[in-house]
Amino acid sequence: SMHGDLRAGRPTELPFLNEWLVSRGRTLGIPVTAHERLISAIHDFEKDPSRRESTDSTKKTVENLRRAE
């Protein structure tokens, strides 16, 4: 459903699903780097309509997320 939201230019459920997790992880001192990068990447997609259809951009985002693991 998030992919459909991104393609349609609608906000995603990302804040509800991941920002709480990042906040809680920080509070507990647990690294949440992958979630931080995921939030950043999705917000970038939400802000820039030209990235919504870009396969190269999506691949780079996935590569960056994998490096964070």
DSSP per residue, 4-46? HHHHHTPPPSHIIIIIHHHHHHHHHT---HHHHHHHHHHHHHH
The per-residue pLDDT for 35 is 84
Residue 2: DSSP 8-state? H
The per-residue pLDDT for 17 is 78
User: pTM here?
Assistant: 0.57
pLDDT per residue of the chain (69 residues) written in tens, 0 to 9: 777 777 777 777 877 778 888 899 999 999 998 888 888 877 777 777 666 555 566 667 667 666 755
